[in-house]
Chain A
């Protein structure tokens, strides 16, 4: 069974304190791994897509990396506006399946 596990469940950082969020996955075949940001009461906002081990993507203070078993979302010098829930999702490569399987998310709070 395809599984996506995110850790930690919650993370509190001081402004400027860099850290990483983890997404580990067990799937039959990975077609893509996706990171989203979700603010309270809103739909997920797309951040990154990663396809192969060793790939990295960056956007402002965020950098996503991918290995064969996990992905990391690195947050450098975070600001309070980075506070949100960060979701990881995978799409498997078998057959015609196009749906995403989501992890439970990491709730990030950045304190000023």
Chain B
């Protein structure tokens, strides 16, 4: 399995501001995934980040709102832009296991509250 860390673990932000979430993996991985988990809900995929190419966004998520960077094989960032209270969620990054396994391993999450 992969060891994944996220920063910050939690934050409280004001409406209209932006927050960048970092995801660090202890091994090189091709694809990284960003999910959102709204209060009391399950996980919804925001985008898939492949190193060296533009992120692929799911329906309902756009790059202007959730820009993603993937500068190398162990790191990615997700920015939540122009935040509103509806963006209050847990944001999770995940990676596939070593050797191209189908299993995804998740980071501890970033709990975001927007006032």
A interface, CB within 8 angstroms of B: 31-32, 34, 36, 41-46, 49, 87, 89, 91, 98-105
Which of A32, A49, A100 has the largest count of B CB atoms less than 10 A from its CB? A100
A42 and B42 form a contact (CB under 8 A): no
CB distance from A92 to the nearest CB of B (A): 11
Stretch at the interface among B13-21, B60-68, B98-106: B98-106
Chain B hits for A99, CB < 8 A: 33, 45, 48, 58
* Residue in A closest to B47 when the chains form the complex, CB atoms: A99
B interface, CB within 8 angstroms of A: 1, 4, 31, 33, 41-45, 48, 58, 92, 94, 96, 101-109, 111
Label chain B's interface by main secondary structure: strand
B42 interface neighbour in A41, A49, A87, A98, Cβ under 8 Å: A87
Distance between Cα atoms of A103 and B43 in the complex (Å): 8
B103 and A87 form a contact (CB under 8 A): no
Chain A hits for B104, CB < 8 A: 34, 46, 100
Provide a sorted-by-A list of 24 A–B residue pairs whose CB atoms are within 8 angstroms: A34-B102, A41-B109, A42-B108, A42-B109, A43-B4, A43-B92, A43-B107, A44-B43, A46-B1, A46-B103, A46-B106, A49-B102, A49-B103, A91-B102, A98-B48, A99-B58, A100-B33, A100-B43, A100-B45, A100-B104, A102-B43, A102-B44, A104-B41, A104-B42
**Contact count A vs B, C-beta below 8 Å:** 54
B33 and A44 form a contact (CB under 8 A): no
* Residue in B closest to A91 when the chains form the complex, CB atoms: B102
A98-B48, A98-B96, A99-B33 known; A43+B106 contact, CB < 8 A = yes
Chain A hits for B44, CB < 8 A: 102
A87 and B102 form a contact (CB under 8 A): no
* Residue in B closest to A48 when the chains form the complex, CB atoms: B103
Chain A hits for B94, CB < 8 A: 43
Distance between Cα atoms of A34 and B104 in the complex (Å): 9
Chain B hits for A98, CB < 8 A: 31, 48, 96, 102
Which 3 pairs across A and B sit closest by C-beta, in order of nearness? A43-B106, A102-B42, A102-B43
